[in-house]
Amino acid sequence: MSYVNAEYVLPKVLVEEIQKYVDGQLIYIPRKNENSLSWGEKNGTKEKLAERNQAIVNRYYSGQTIAQLCKEYFLSEKRIQGIIHEYESSKNRIKEDSR
């Protein structure tokens, strides 16, 4: 994250008011709730992990063992099991919602 010099973007009066509280220090101003992004949305990580997890589930249901998937994806058995469990749970939720 880069910073922006307040003197370039804020009115002088506002900068002087802020200096009463944080003179010469860095300050973080959070995004408005309606502008915030959840983890991984900005750089595509969330989507890439979802694709990877779907590939793991597909390979598992095609006959690959959890041990093989661990070696291929460099993940622990517990994480592979978690990915499969998450898929099965979401599949069951979809079935229940469609009733």
Residue 70: its pLDDT value, please? 97
In this structure, the number of other CB atoms found within 10 A of the CB of residue 56 comes to 22
For the entire predicted model, the pTM comes to 0.59
Q: What is the pLDDT of residues 42-96, one digit of tens each?
A: 788 889 999 999 999 999 999 999 999 999 999 999 999 999 999 998 877 666 6
Select from 26, 21, 25 the least CA-distant residue to 1. Answer: 26
Query: In this predicted structure, what is the pLDDT of residue 96?
Result: 65
Q: What is the DSSP code string of 9-24?
A: HS-HHHHHHHHTTSTT
